[in-house]
Chain A
């Protein structure tokens, strides 16, 4: 019975993880993980094309506690340096616990053409290490595009693992190829809505996600979102003071429960 429960849990866990292999910080997470057509420093994790929109260098760190009752957690850090029409970014992410770690290190180059077209390539190194089993690693390539036909609307597309890379056969972990297509729209100064459709080659099925951000004040924002498959509900809030911003997020998985998350960002 114990084994049965454990395997059930693991199946659910894998399903859940496939849905959120890269963590795009609290803001984008709480907006239903709909980063394909959103632009901020964390875009490097959701659609690196977005970092070309940054006017000044920025850094961000995040910590997410994964699933109540486990010692799993996600930590990530990002740096973006824009240079005229170009932008360069570095990202680092770690997921797991002491005996099981997944690492992802990325270097992104993004370029904008006018104020309408943003493109990016992202080179990643993935490493999986399991205590007393050893570790394995591989490289992958992501690509992203964002199109901003008007001040309010952004349409975005992002392919992760375009190179279809994978770990050694024996590792038992996959790096899915994923395609995310999304759109975001500023309905007013206060309200931003964002949606995306995500499909992967990992039998996770397609996901539709929707999220929103409502700025009550210029510094204070409330966020919420949902993903339908796997079923997740998100909520969060952000506070920006001068160059520093603090963002909180919580996601609720249908079966696995709550994941709280906190992020800090600084814009130079």
Chain B
């Protein structure tokens, strides 16, 4: 205690947590999500993560009771940092001052600044039993969006590829929270082109997802009824929902599991529907689960030689055309299994076993590169994993087996080598015949199979103003892949330097280079492999003017080369963000110019959107894009958002293809969102 007293006497920088009264879109969370989402370039649904971060911000964690798993939900904390915080608390007793965070290993000023909105220090001992007053909250949010131009699929000319429904997208979400322990959610969605009708076995929306989730019990630590996600180990065997791969954040490469979670996304595949529970007995946890849901499957009809089989399983969740509708919920998937794990002082070991069963067998693919894909009607996966924090190192590994076929293994070591430097090395080896329907792990290819690789990364924080990260990844694919008719290899290099001379200004430089092998473009039964190289150069600048205005710029160049054929592209944009403190109105806009030679030199950029929504569209060909987002607070409990975005292409008279075709050179969309909150 006296040590702490001494510390404050010497006047460590006094941290003043900012007033956390705002409930509207939070620039910090937006920046965080942007940083995470930027690296993924996938059509992930970030709404779940975003919602969770907003929720934690409103119901912050008590530093004196928070667990490592809860901290892992704050995606910007590395597992080592989370464990350091827990260890500090174990060794030094409960936190009494927020300033103590500065004493924890690996907690830099900027990290603490990020963490502050999500934590507080609870009142000690006596009041603990009564806890925080239970606040309940009901939130209803509805989003309507559509593309303004006419698309070919909505005209009545093409019957096969005709979109059966209206061109708008409608999402409605209902959430109820009672304190930090009980939550319930209902998500309803109709994609653009899907029908919205009642009767004849139709129930309005195309997709419904609901769940009730209870957490925090002594024995029944978590209980999910309805839709849920499971995230265990390093994701080699069992990881559904959002997961991250390689990104500029070096420490993010180690996966930090969060176990059983409620599912609230609008992604229509890759989740569980049924019942799951986590039962805890001291340091041991047992999670049995069962899930049954309809899946979209394309079928091969029965004939005299064989009974009906599944030829492919759809994951897009789109049911717009006659053909898509014919697959809708045509078959079913049953998943059941359990996870057993033990945790003690920074050490965790677990094992899991589960089976995925289909109502009809999945047939073998005719394409050679998919020779090792799953075949049959049931797949059993088993896995063994661990992670361990020891001094300034964090190590983790997972070994998984798909019964009757292959093995997959991943292992890594992360260490903070000095106060400023941390390094990581990660090895993976997924056999070509390994398979799992719920896996998400570090991979260059499209899934957790057919890949070997070694990743090594370095992060240096020179001082509070400058940081530099660098990683290289070497990968080999022992079997063929899509458009690669042979075993192939490749490498990736990313380096990024960030300079923030003060709190309001941030300059980032990034270089990324990827080398791979791909089939040549000659029409042949079998192709030779040719080298494919892509280099991206990026400069980001963001600065704040006064308290309400933020300006952001990006310039990015890309060079692509496949054998002798070259493409290049560029993009430059200006963002203006207006956010008055406590004002009724806020908004942001972008003006972007882009010019790329084609598909291979397309560029991705994160875009601001209405609350909880995030988009990372590709900027391809050449033209101008701008968008405008506005938020207006009607009253204490009602917020409105409006978004308008348009791209005008140079020298095009039609955009897109197939049923999405638009004649003309511009494509624009609007979005309208309303949120109603009762506390």
Contact = CB atoms under 8 A, between A and B. Distances in A.
Interface in B471-530: 472, 474, 489, 491, 493, 513, 515
A187 B416 CA distance: 12
B22 interface: no
Interface string B404-417: 00000000000101
A252 B418 contact: no
B474 A252 contact: yes
What range describes how many residues of B lie at the interface?
A: 20 to 34
Given A226-B456, A254-B491, A193 B474 contact: no
Interface stretch (B420-428, B552-560, B575-583): B420-428
Nearest to A253: B474
A191 B458 contact: no
A225 to B, nearest CB: 9
A187 B515 CA distance: 32
Task: In the A-B complex, list the 6 residue pairs whose CB atoms are closest, starting with the nearest.
Answer: A188-B418, A187-B418, A191-B418, A191-B417, A226-B472, A231-B491
Given A226-B456, A228-B493, A233-B454, A187 B421 contact: yes
B289 interface: no
Given A191-B417, A231-B472, A224 B425 contact: yes
A228 B472 contact: yes
B418 A233 contact: no
Contact of B418 (A190, A226, A254): A190
Contact of A254 (B417, B460, B489): B489
Contacts of A224: 423, 425, 456
A233 B456 contact: yes
A254 B453 CA distance: 11
B465 interface: no
A255 interface: yes
Contacts of A193: 421, 458, 460
B564 to A, nearest CB: 17
A212 interface: yes
Contacts of B417: 187-188, 190-191, 212, 214
Interface of A: 187-188, 190-191, 193, 210, 212, 214, 224, 226, 228, 231, 233, 252, 254-255
Contacts of A231: 472, 474, 491, 515
B371 interface: no
Contacts of A190: 417-418
A191 B493 CA distance: 23
B419 interface: yes
Contacts of B493: 228
B390 to A, nearest CB: 13
Contacts of A255: 489
B142 to A, nearest CB: 50
Given A187-B417, A210-B470, A233-B472, 4 more contacts: A224-B456, A231-B472, A233-B474, A254-B489
Contacts of A252: 454, 474
Nearest to B455: A233
B352 to A, nearest CB: 32
Contacts of B472: 226, 228, 231, 233
Contacts of A210: 458, 470
A72 to B, nearest CB: 22
Nearest to B513: A228
A45 to B, nearest CB: 24
A228 B489 CA distance: 15
B456 A191 contact: no
A233 B460 CA distance: 19
B456 A212 contact: no
A201 B276 CA distance: 64
Contacts of B425: 224
A119 B419 CA distance: 33
8 contacts: A187-B420, A187-B421, A191-B418, A193-B458, A214-B417, A226-B456, A226-B472, A228-B513
Residue among B417, B419, B420 facing the most chain A CB atoms (10 A cut-off): B417
Contacts of B513: 228
A252 B417 CA distance: 23
B469 to A, nearest CB: 11
Nearest to A227: B472
Nearest to B490: A254
Interface in B617-631: none
B113 to A, nearest CB: 23
A112 B627 CA distance: 62
Contacts of B489: 254-255
Contacts of A191: 417-418, 421
Contacts of A187: 417-421, 460
A12 to B, nearest CB: 12
Nearest to B475: A254
Contacts of B458: 193, 210, 212
Given A224-B456, A226-B472, A233-B474, A212 B423 contact: yes
Contacts of A188: 417-419
A226 B415 CA distance: 18
A188 B416 CA distance: 12
Contacts of B454: 233, 252
A233 B456 CA distance: 9
A55 to B, nearest CB: 26
B517 to A, nearest CB: 11
Interface in B132-153: none
Residue among B420, B421, B493, B515 facing the most chain A CB atoms (10 A cut-off): B421
A228 B472 CA distance: 8
A246 to B, nearest CB: 23
A23 B515 CA distance: 27
B496 to A, nearest CB: 14
A254 B489 CA distance: 8
Contacts of B420: 187
A188 B460 CA distance: 13
Nearest to B420: A187
A233 B423 CA distance: 14
Nearest to A231: B491
B423 to A, nearest CB: 7
Contacts of A254: 474, 489, 491
B146 to A, nearest CB: 46
Contacts of A214: 415, 417
A193 B460 CA distance: 10
A224 B417 CA distance: 13
Contacts of B470: 210
Contacts of B474: 231, 233, 252, 254
A187 B462 CA distance: 9
Contacts of A233: 454, 456, 472, 474
A212 B425 CA distance: 13
B494 to A, nearest CB: 11
Nearest to B489: A254
Interface in B451-467: 454, 456, 458, 460
A233 B458 CA distance: 13
A193 B418 CA distance: 11
Interface string B248-292: 000000000000000000000000000000000000000000000
B563 to A, nearest CB: 15
